[in-house]
A and B are shown apart, each in its own frame.
Chain A
Amino acid sequence: EVQLVESGGGLVQPGRSLRLSCAASGFTFDDYAMHWVRQAPGKGLEWVSGISWNSGSIGYADSVKGRFTISRDNAKNSLYLQMNSLRAEDTALYYCAKAHDAFDIWGQGTMVTVSS
């Protein structure tokens, strides 16, 4: 079964850091680009960041550029998102998604709450 499982979310104070992880199974992880997409409570989807199969190409939304870093470990079938200098507006459910011209497989998400 193709599956993505996110972890690492939680409550964090503004200005602090958090690292999200996404464990992939059921497909050849290093064949595909991977992305992070977030959804603030009651709001729509927002693309956060994406990384190619070999980490050679990476992109970020303007809202997180310079604060977030995406990475992957193909040997561990895992995707990561290092989030620094967190702000209240980063509060959201963070999904990882497998991509092949579209986001065809999604995890269930991990909630990040930034609050003092």
Chain B
Amino acid sequence: QSALTQPASVSGSPGQSITISCTGTSSDVGGYNYVSWYQQHPGKAPKLMIYDVSKRPSGVSNRFSGSKSGNTASLTISGLQAEDEADYYCSSYTSSSTFRAVFGGGTKLTVL
């Protein structure tokens, strides 16, 4: 159950787009379409931003999008805004034979 690999930090200016990668293996990211992304502001609980690789929950801005290629998933945030500054975590989840989930180490997004 190794953690998924994310860059420790990314940054961008308001209005720009950034992409955060999340690399796993064929046993997690590459093997299932249950990849999700979470936003966490300091002192707050995580918030689901993307699920099933590319789906957005109701209420999440369409500036957030997700994709996957092989063992790597990606979160793209377009039109960066100051309030996007937060930690972002990817996760791979499976409930096939037993429950198992793994998170990435997290990426700190700084809006310059």
Q: Which A positions have Cβ atoms within 8 angstroms of B?
A: 33, 35, 37, 44-47, 49-52, 57-59, 61-62, 95, 99, 101-104, 106-109
Q: Are A101 and B98 in contact (CB under 8 A)?
A: no
Q: Are B99 and A104 in contact (CB under 8 A)?
A: no
- Say yes or no: A101-B99 contact (C-beta < 8 A), given A95-B45, A108-B45: no
The smallest C-beta distance from A47 to any residue of chain B, in angstroms, reads 4
The smallest C-beta distance from B31 to any residue of chain A, in angstroms, reads 14
* A47, A51, A57, A58 pick with most chain B CB within 10 angstroms: A47
> For chain B, which range describes its interface: under 10, 10 to 19, 20 to 34, or 35 or more residues?
20 to 34
Task: Closest B residue to A50 by CB, please name it.
Answer: B99
Q: Which B positions have Cβ atoms within 8 angstroms of A?
A: 1, 3, 34, 36, 38, 40, 45-48, 51-52, 57, 87, 89, 91, 93, 95, 97-106
Task: Closest A residue to B90 by CB, please name it.
Answer: A45
Q: Are B95 and A103 in contact (CB under 8 A)?
A: no
